[in-house]
Chains A and B, each alone.
Chain A
């Protein structure tokens, strides 16, 4: 029974996002890699979760309704992605298989470096399962998920005590814990286990997936150095406890919390997406619609993670947009770029109003 539940969790967190991510295969030919499909698919799923859940929270609807609508949303996306794959295959396009473009001439050191990277990654994933981190904020975020799953209500029972309470917009507009509750409800695994054992390894792996993709673009002509780039990334994360505020520390210690997902997944992914945008501006290439959709989803996911996510991501988009416009003397791309910030603007307005 437990094995079946873990399998279901794996399907929800790995298989479905990869299938859904195939909808973004056209974002960039150079990005047709398994981690990109996985992460972009998860962004589309998370964005949908935010759009479905927040109105239901504000209406004080039952959690079961969120589960039902979100499952339907997932099913529609999976079906759409499969149809998309079939059509693409008939046209002779690329399949879901990742493109292997590692350098032809491979030295021993190259493989050794990859082995070190995987060793360090596995170490972190095992530590996420083996070690418990006593973070005080879990008393709220994990308890919200636990209470939601059990009581079928959202944010109207005090996570701390169990008494009734009124909705706090700061939390209700960024319902990442409700996503944890969703995983628990669908798989039947206890919410505390989903939050502490299932979410951290997945989110940590996702972070390195983003760094892998970013490294691929940064080291486009020197891909043999990619494993070294990733090893240094890992070292900087592993030794990132030099202050209690660092994103690296949040990633390892609080990976089940939305703010950690914002710091270690959404922001690095935005940097990757902005890098792709700037490359297209540089190469005078057309930016595909799927790119803008993915950017929109990533920014909506920022809202799911943290109310501050709305402000931070818009700040990054605005500064990069203006810099790009000045450097390339191109302005048109600013319109779709600004349009992608709309969800953040809407959720910020709601935050101020509520």
Chain B
């Protein structure tokens, strides 16, 4: 029993440690932050600044690394968000303030050089946020792929919801744009840790290298999908039209198939 508690505490401490390292990333900005904090500890005379920029962050770090507190927090909140305690450290303000303080203590001529060098150091130590590969030029005012907009506009029926199955690359965007287009599975299926991936036959049928027309149409119909959306050029074994999913349209690199046995104009109560 006792061993278990110690093991648990040790494990929690290890997790905190891991999160701190993840938060540090390359580590350089955190080093500048610690250096700035030490600088303020040594030079700053005003108590409010010392309390908020030196003492409080140090105590917060002690809390962050305290396995007993980790145990309590882990009990109530998702472990994956534990790192957010580090948001309480005023890293940006402390580094910027310490830099400006040092700048002020330098002679006029050295100031500009110092400011430029420090700016370059920040730029080299960090990573430019807009270089993130997940950034892309917005295709429209909704910030979702234009294909999603065009497909949803094509399949929406006034006064009712429609069920449609989409390829995995579109499912995160569909319901951001259109709340009336429903899906048999959403983004949760792509998150491995939620263990849905292997349990959904329709998802597997949609994402198979070669689509089995009979299987896909059967599963889609079971899930009451009035539409199947597939990437243009996706290899299909058989014809979806043989199973009453007729070609409805072709939009932005995607084919839309509609279940011809369903009359969507009938407004359901």
Partners in one complex: yes
B125–A242 touching, CB < 8 Å: yes
B141–A193 touching, CB < 8 Å: yes
B132–A161 touching, CB < 8 Å: no
Count residues of A near B (Cβ-Cβ below 8 Å): 86
Q: Is A334 an interface residue (CB 8 A)?
A: no
Q: Is A179 an interface residue (CB 8 A)?
A: no
**Which A residues from 257 to 312 make CB contacts under 8 A with B?**
259, 262-263, 267-268, 271, 274-275, 278-279, 282, 307-308, 311-312
Which of the residues A146, A158, A238, A320 comes within 8 Å of B176, measured between beta carbons? A146
- Mask: chain A, 229-249; 1 = CB below 8 Å from B; 0 = not: 111110111111111111111
Q: Is A252 an interface residue (CB 8 A)?
A: yes
A162–B96 touching, CB < 8 Å: no
Q: Which residues of B contact A274 (CB under 8 A)?
A: 52
A134–B100 touching, CB < 8 Å: no
Residue of chain B at shortest CB distance from A210: B93
- Mask: chain A, 117-158; 1 = CB below 8 Å from B; 0 = not: 000000000010111111110111011001101110000001
Q: Do A263 and B129 contact each other (CB < 8 Å), given the known contacts A140-B187, A219-B100, A323-B51? A: no
**Which A residues from 305 to 346 make CB contacts under 8 A with B?**
307-308, 311-312, 315-316, 319-320, 323-324, 327-328
Chain B binding surface, main DSSP class: helix
A267–B88 touching, CB < 8 Å: yes
A323–B142 touching, CB < 8 Å: no
B53–chain A nearest beta-carbon distance, Å:
9
- Mask: chain B, 188-199; 1 = CB below 8 Å from A; 0 = not: 101100000000
Residue of chain B at shortest CB distance from A109: B112
Q: Do A132 and B52 contact each other (CB < 8 Å), given the known contacts A138-B176, A192-B176? A: no
Q: Do A235 and B143 contact each other (CB < 8 Å), given the known contacts A245-B23, A311-B77, A323-B55? A: no
A253–B188 touching, CB < 8 Å: no
Q: Is A160 an interface residue (CB 8 A)?
A: yes
Q: Which residues of A contact B22 (CB under 8 A)?
A: 243-245
Chain A binding surface, main DSSP class: helix
A3 to B22 Cα, complex, angstroms: 44
Q: Is B183 an interface residue (CB 8 A)?
A: yes
A271–chain B nearest beta-carbon distance, Å:
5
Which of the residues B77, B125, B135 comes within 8 Å of A131, measured between beta carbons? B135
A143 to B172 Cα, complex, angstroms: 9
Pairs A–B under 8 Å by Cβ, sample size 8 = A131-B137, A131-B138, A192-B176, A197-B141, A235-B119, A239-B125, A307-B77, A308-B77
Interface positions of A (Cβ within 8 A of B): 127, 129-136, 138-140, 142-143, 146-147, 149-151, 158-163, 190, 192-193, 195-197, 211, 214-215, 218-219, 222, 225, 228-233, 235-249, 252-253, 259, 262-263, 267-268, 271, 274-275, 278-279, 282, 307-308, 311-312, 315-316, 319-320, 323-324, 327-328, 351-352
- Given A133-B143, A161-B175, A351-B76, 17 additional A-B pairs, CB 8 A: A131-B130, A136-B191, A138-B172, A139-B172, A146-B176, A147-B179, A196-B142, A218-B93, A228-B115, A233-B96, A236-B29, A239-B127, A243-B22, A246-B23, A282-B48, A315-B85, A319-B60
